[in-house]
Amino acid sequence: MIPVGDVPESTLQIIADNITGRFKLTTQILPPLEQPEYAFDERRLQYNAGIIIEAMEAMQFGNHDKVIGVLNNDLFIPIFTHVFGEARQGGKCGLVSLFRLMKNSDGSTPPKSLVLERVAKVALHELGHLLDLLHCEHKKCLMHFSGGVDEVDNMSLELCEYCTIYLQDKLG
Amino acid sequence: MDGKMSVMIVDDEAIVRESLFHWFKKYGHFVETAASGFEALEKLGKYPFQLLFVDIKMPGMDGIELLEKVKTDYPDTLVIIITAYGSIESSVKAMRIGATDYLLKPFKPDQLSLVMERISVQKRLVSQYNYLKGHLEKITRFDNIIGQSSEMEKVFSLIPEVAQSDASILLVGETGTGKELVAKAIHAESRRSHLPFIAINCGAMPESLLESELFGHQKGVFTGATRARKGFLEVVSGGTLFLDEIGEISPKMQINLLRVLEEKKITSIGSREPVNVDFRLISATRRDLKKEVAEGTFREDFFYRINVIMIEIPPLRKRKEDIPLLVEHFLKKYCQETTKYVDHVTRDTMELLIHYDWPGNVRELENAIERAVVLSKSRTLNVEDLSFIRPAGKPISKTLSLREMEKEYIQQVLEGNNWNVTQSAKILGINRVTLHKMMKRYRLERPEG
C-alpha cells in the first residue's frame, strides 16, 4: 500500500488488513508519494488516473509484486466522468480514491465506518484486476462493476465462488 | 453481461482508445483499437467484430461516414457512437443511419455499463431469432427455393396453383436444379401437407430393391425378408410420394406403377391381398422422356399418367441473375452450420461465380460455397477461395471423342469437389458405385500429396 499525498494511516491499515485477511497476501505500507499535481487536469479539475498509474509503474518498489496507491483526489479516466479506482488487467499498480466514497448518492455524509468499508471494497476490487480477475456478473461479488456508491454498498467484501477459484488459481 | 464480445474502439485520440481498451479488457472481451475509419474498415475486413465504439469527430473519415459504410457492408455489426460535442443533430443522424446507441463524452461509468447490458440483451434476442428463423426455414419451403429471375417466378407461380389439385406432376430439370425442393413446396402447399412426404431416388437402387421399397413384402418371400414390411406406397398413406429419376425405372416397374396409379391399389410382394392406397405422385427426371417415348424406350401410357402437369426447372446457367441471391443464402446457411463468419464476396469472386456455367447447377454452387466457407481464412470470399472452379468459356478440350469428353468431365467434377466421390456422384447424377467403376475404367485417381 502506498499513500499518494496526505492519507490517514488508519485508512491504509484497514485496506492492508482486508487484503491480508481476505486474499491471504502479505502487505506493507510504504512511505507516501507526493501529491500527483502532474496528473491534474485543469479543464476537468480532476486527476487523471491513467497518468498517475503510468508514473507509478515507472517507479521501483523493491520486491513488491503489486502496489495500490490511495489518495484523496477525485480521479477520472478520459472517457468517464469519474472513477473510484483504477487498475489495468494484470498490471502492477492500481489506485483508489477516497474522494467520492466520502459522500452518499443523495449528498449526505456517511459514517466513517461505511467510508472505510467502501475504500476496502474498491481497493480489493482493483487488486483483483491487478491479479487478472475480470468483472463478474454476480451482483454481490467483489468483482462486480460499480458505477455509483450505492452499488459499492450493495456488493460484498467477498468474492463469489467462481472468482474465488479463479483467484486461488492465479495465486497458485 | 453474459457472453464475451469482439469490440473495436475507433477514435483518433490515443488516450480514449486506451481507456476504453482497458475498460473492456476488464470484462474479458476481445478488444482491438483503430485510430481512423480507414484502419477500422481494414480490420473489419479481416475479423468480424460484433461491436464498434466510434468517435463521431475524426479527421479523414468521420464517425458518420464510417457508420454508413459499416451498416452497408457489415449490417450485423453494432455501432455505438461517441460524441464529445453533445450535438443532438449528429446523434439523431447516427441513430437514423443505424447506430445502436450513442454516448456523450465523458460519460458516467454506469452509462457504458448500461449500454453494454442492452447490447447483451439485443444480441441474445438476435441469436434466438436467427435460431428460430433457421428452424422455421427448415420446415417451411418456399423460402428454401431462391430466385428472382423470370424463369423461377414462373415456377413459383405454378406451385400454389398445381398444389391444389391431385394431378400427377412431372418435374423436369437437370441434376442439382432443386426438383426435390419444388416437390416439397408443392406438398407443403397442398391439402396433404400434414401427411407424409416420401422421396425415393429410383436411380439409386436396383429394380428388385425398388419394388420391395415401393410395394413392401411379406415375411420370408426372399432371403433376408425376416419380417413383413410395408411399402412406401402404403406408408405414404394420404401424403405425397416423390419419385426422383423416374426415367431410370425398368419397363416392368413402369407397368406396376401404372397399375397402381389407375387402380389405387397395391399388392405387396408375396401377398395376394390388395391394399387401397392414396397418395399424390410427383415424379422428376433430368432426361427427355418425350423423346424416349418417341424412341420407344419409355412407356407412353405411363408417361402420360405421370405427366398430367409438367414443370420445367431451369438450369442455373439460364438464370444467372439468381446467383448473387443464392450465394448470399448459402453463405448465411454455412456460416450458421460451420460457425465461421464469412459474409462478404469480392466483386471478382462474384464475377467468377456468375460466369461459371454450373453444370451441377444449384447443388454444385451450394457445394462450392460450403467448401469455400470452410476453407476461407477471412470474412471475405475471394477468387483464391474458389480456385477449384474452372472459369466458364474455357473449352474442355479441342476435338474429343465422347468417351474422352466423359473422362475429362468426370475428372473436372472430381477435382472441383476435392475428389469426394459422394459429392461428385451427386453432381454427376450417378450413384457412387457407378462413379467408382467409371474412375477405375478411366484410371482416374486422386493425385498424391
Which set of grid coordinates corresponds to residue A80?
468517464
Say if the Cβ atoms of B13 and A78 lie within 8 Å. yes
Q: Which whole number is the average pLDDT over B207-223?
A: 82
Q: Which of A7-21, B20-34, B375-389 has the lowest mean pLDDT?
A: B375-389
pLDDT-derived band of residue B3, with 50, 70 and 90 as boundaries?
low
Q: In whole angstroms, what is the distance from residue B224 CA to residue B204 CA?
A: 20
Residue of A nearest to B1 (CA): A137
Count how many residues are written for chain A.
172
* DSSP code string of A8-73: -HHHHHHHHHHHHHHH-----PPPPBPP-GGGEETTTTEEEHHHHHHHHHTS--TT-S-EEEEESS
**Cβ-contact B304, B289 below 8 angstroms:** no
Percentage, residues of chain B above pLDDT 70 = 93
CA distance B126 to chain A (A): 21
> What does the pLDDT read at residue B404?
80
> What does the pLDDT read at residue B136?
56
Pairing of strands A85-87, B229-230: unpaired
CA distance A135 to chain B (A): 5
Residue of B nearest to A88 (CA): B22
Q: Which whole number is the average pLDDT over B271-294?
A: 89
> What does the pLDDT read at residue B126?
78
Q: Which whole number is the average pLDDT over B158-176?
A: 91
Q: Who has greater pLDDT, B132 or A116? A: A116
Q: From B173, B218, B214, select the one nearest B358 (Cα to Cα).
A: B173
Q: From B115, B426, B109, select the one nearest A75 (Cα to Cα).
A: B109
> What does the pLDDT read at residue A114?
95
Pairing of strands B216-217, B229-230: antiparallel
pLDDT-derived band of residue B1, with 50, 70 and 90 as boundaries?
very low
Give tens-digit pLDDT for B94-121. 888 899 988 888 888 888 888 888 888 8
Given the residues A34, A86, A126, A137, select the one marked as catalytic.
A126
pLDDT-derived band of residue B88, with 50, 70 and 90 as boundaries?
confident
Is the bond leading into B48 cis (omega within 30 degrees of zero)? no
> What does the pLDDT read at residue B137?
54
User: What residues form DSSP beta bridges with B79?
Assistant: B52
Q: From B257, B139, B256, select the one nearest B187 (Cα to Cα).
A: B139
> Which of chain B's residues have a Cβ under 8 Å away from the Cβ of A148?
108, 110
Interface size between A and B, measured as CB pairs under 8 A = 60
The CATH number for A93's domain is: 3.40.390.10
Range of the domain at A132: 2-171
ipTM of the complex in this document:
0.81
Q: Which of B303-317, B364-378, B391-405 has the lowest mean pLDDT?
A: B391-405
> What does the pLDDT read at residue B134?
61
Q: Which whole number is the average pLDDT over B334-355?
A: 84
Q: Which whole number is the average pLDDT over A151-155?
A: 93
Q: Which whole number is the average pLDDT over A121-133?
A: 95
CA distance B89 to chain A (A): 21
* DSSP code string of B314-360: PPGGG-GGGHHHHHHHHHHHHHHHH-----EE-HHHHHHHHHS--TT
Q: Which whole number is the average pLDDT over A43-57?
A: 94
Q: Which whole number is the average pLDDT over B231-254?
A: 90
Given a cut of 70, whether residue B436 has pLDDT beyond it is yes
Q: Which of A85-99, B70-84, B113-127 has the lowest mean pLDDT?
A: B113-127
* DSSP code string of B8-59: EEE-S-HHHHHHHHHHHHTTT-EEEEESSHHHHHHHHHHS--SEEEEES--S
Given a cut of 90, whether residue B170 has pLDDT beyond it is yes
Give tens-digit pLDDT for A55-83. 999 998 888 999 999 999 999 998 899 99
Chain B contacts to A (CB-CB under 8 A): 1-2, 13, 15-16, 18-20, 22-23, 25-28, 82, 105-113
Give tens-digit pLDDT for B6-47. 999 999 989 889 889 999 998 889 999 999 999 999 999 888
Which positions ≥6 away from B200 have C-beta within 8 Å? B210, B213, B214, B232, B241, B242, B243, B244
> Which of chain A's residues have a Cβ under 8 Å away from the Cβ of B11?
none
Given a cut of 50, whether residue B141 has pLDDT beyond it is no
Number of separate domains in chain A: 1
> What does the pLDDT read at residue B138?
52
Given a cut of 90, whether residue A141 has pLDDT beyond it is yes
Given a cut of 80, whether residue B447 has pLDDT beyond it is no
pTM attached to this predicted model:
0.53
Q: Which of A13-22, B100-109, B265-274 has the lowest mean pLDDT?
A: B265-274
> What does the pLDDT read at residue B143?
57
Q: In whole angstroms, what is the distance from residue B165 CA to residue B90 CA?
A: 58
pLDDT-derived band of residue B57, with 50, 70 and 90 as boundaries?
confident
> What does the pLDDT read at residue B169?
95
> What does the pLDDT read at residue B391?
54
**Phi first, then psi: what are they for A61, rounded to 5°?**
-120, 40
Q: In whole angstroms, what is the distance from residue B176 CA to residue A38 CA?
A: 72
**Phi first, then psi: what are they for A97, rounded to 5°?**
-110, 135
Q: Domains for chain B: give ranges and CATH numbers.
A: 6-137 (3.40.50.2300), 144-314 (3.40.50.300), 317-441 (1.10.8.60)
Which positions ≥6 away from B72 have C-beta within 8 Å? none
How does the average pLDDT of chain B come out, rounded?
85
Give tens-digit pLDDT for A103-123. 999 999 999 999 999 999 999
In this complex, the residue of B1, B20, B26 whose CB is nearest that of residue A79 is B20
Q: Which whole number is the average pLDDT over B209-231?
A: 81
Q: Is the dihedral of CA A96, A98, A102, A104 positive or negative?
A: negative
Look up residue A165 and give its amino acid.
I
Which positions ≥6 away from B245 have C-beta within 8 Å? B201, B202, B203, B204, B284, B285, B286, B429
Active site residue A126: yes
Q: Which whole number is the average pLDDT over B160-189?
A: 90
> What does the pLDDT read at residue A122?
96
